[in-house]
Structures are given as structure tokens and as C-alpha cells.
């Protein structure tokens, strides 16, 4: 088993129609949600 550490960045995936230059990286967004104390029982709103 190996890990590719020299390939494309994981935040550059092909599913996005338009990639905004100021978009949050998914790892940063995930960390922000974890640190906020959010639980699945509460609604989550993404205003963008």
C-alpha cells in the first residue's frame, strides 16, 4: 500500500463546475465544522 504525496492537491477535484479562487479547502471547512461543536441534530447552513 502506498500514498501518493506528489500528485495533484486533493482540493482540486473534477466535480466542481466553477472553482472560485477564494474557495475554502474541504479540509479547512471540515475542521471549522468540527471545532464549532456542530452536531447532526442541528441544522447546518452554508450561505454561499
Q: Do 44 and 33 touch, CB atoms closer than 8 A?
A: yes
Angle, CA of 39, 34 and 43, to the nearest 5°: 35
What's the pLDDT at 11?
65
CA 41 to chain centre: 21
Distance CA 30, CA 34 (A): 6
CA distance 10 to 7: 9
Residue range 25-44, pLDDT digits in tens: 888 888 999 999 999 898 88
pLDDT above 80: residue 14: no
Identify the residue with better confidence: 39 or 16.
Answer: 39
Does pTM top 0.75 for this prediction?
A: no
Give yes or no for residue 21 having a pLDDT over 90: no
Largest distance between two CA atoms of the chain: 40
Q: What's the pLDDT at 12?
A: 65
Amino acid at each position: 500500500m502506498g500514498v501518493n504525496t506528489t500528485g495533484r492537491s486533493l482540493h482540486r477535484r473534477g466535480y466542481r463546475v466553477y472553482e472560485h479562487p477564494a474557495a475554502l479547502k474541504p479540509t479547512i471547512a471540515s475542521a471549522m465544522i468540527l471545532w464549532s461543536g456542530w452536531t447532526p441534530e442541528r441544522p447546518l447552513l452554508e450561505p454561499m
